[in-house]
Amino acid sequence: MQILQYSLRRLLYLIPVILGVSFVVFFLFNVVAGDPTPLLLGKNATPSQIAELRSQLGLDRPFFMQYLDIVKSAFTFDFGRSWSTQQKISEIISQRAIPSLTLTLPAFILASILGILISLVVSFYRGKTLDVSMRVLCIALMSISSLVYIIVGQKILAADLGLFEISGYETGFPDFVPYIILPVIIWIVLSLGPDIRFFRTVILDEVYQDYVRTARAKGLSEKVIFLKHVLRNAMVPMITYFVIQLPFLIMGSLLLENYFDIPGLGSEVVRAANSNDFPVLKAFAILFSVAYIVFNLITDILYAVVDPRIKLQ
């Protein structure tokens, strides 16, 4: 009952936040960006052509009415149509979300599991050769540009050795699996460095707490202490780390999707930016903002589930 009341109260708080986000999106695209019609028509467009296109796109209406359209779309998720393809933006999102999630979800889950397991091991052997070597490796992995992993993966592993597909995508399971294996591996390699450093720090913060010393004094083994006590208490900051990344999973991966020709949301954002398709860019900005706000609410609720000492107020 407490969780339900807290959730309803927080959902009410979302209304002014979404209104503020809508205003920021409106200000950036409708005020700062200026009139997009010359970009859409080209430099040889006549004033009459510009005026006609502005009328078709609704850009000649008062700013307040245009702002209300953005507010309405934030609550109804009806974002209108794309300027370049004339397809409904909600259909574009629904069609491209699945290819994005087939890449981001397995990559995120595998990277998170590996990150936690490796962090537990290196924390268990803290200060020893394995721990030091892993920290050096994490820094090395983080120092290399993601483009290097992509190019090397496509050139050596895919083109030269033929172990994976270079690019492309097939709809439906398991047809898409061969096309996402290499992007997933690259995602995991890119994630392991920051993940292990963060998880290791969180776990070690718990290792030096008083309750760990008490557990040792009671005769509990180090493995039991790590798995039963330390890991559970470390889950609160880990949940924050995980949930904050979830909106990014929904929005896909800009680099991986474009380099591997995966028709997901990330590649759609790049296409919209290249073609000055403002309605699509507005839709993605609002969608990401709303998802981020909602997942923050989920984070707070999960805190109380993982740690009963945390009270929702």
Domain ranges of the chain: 2-76, 98-276
Q: pLDDT band at 311, cuts 50/70/90?
A: low
Instruction: State how far the Cα of 121 lies from the Cα of 128, in Å rounded to an integer.
Output: 11
Residue 302 has pLDDT above 80, yes or no: no
DSSP string across 234-293: HHHHHHHHHHHHHHHHHT--HHHHHHTT--SHHHHHHHHHHTT-HHHHHHHHHHHHHHHH
Q: What CATH fold (topology level) applies to the domain 98-276?
A: MetI-like fold (1.10.3720)
Residue 182 has pLDDT above 90, yes or no: yes
**Could you report the per-residue pLDDT of 111-138, keeping only the tens digit for each?**
999 999 999 889 888 888 998 999 999 9
Q: Which two tokens stand for residue 125?
A: 């052997």
Average pLDDT over residues 296-312: 68
pLDDT for 126 equals 85
Give me the chain's average pLDDT, please.
85
Looking at this protein, which amino acid is placed at residue 186?
I
pTM attached to this predicted model: 0.82
Q: pLDDT band at 308, cuts 50/70/90?
A: low
Q: Tokens 């394995």, residue?
A: 130
pLDDT for 313 equals 56
pLDDT for 52 equals 83
**Could you report the per-residue pLDDT of 3-14, keeping only the tens digit for each?**
677 777 777 878
pLDDT for 185 equals 94
Instruction: State how far the Cα of 300 lies from the Cα of 312, in Å rounded to an integer.
Output: 8
Residue 206 has pLDDT above 90, yes or no: no
**Could you report the per-residue pLDDT of 53-107, keeping only the tens digit for each?**
888 888 888 888 888 988 888 888 888 888 888 899 999 998 898 999 999 999 9
Backbone region of residue 272 per phi and psi (left: phi > 0; alpha: psi in -120 to 50; beta: other values): alpha
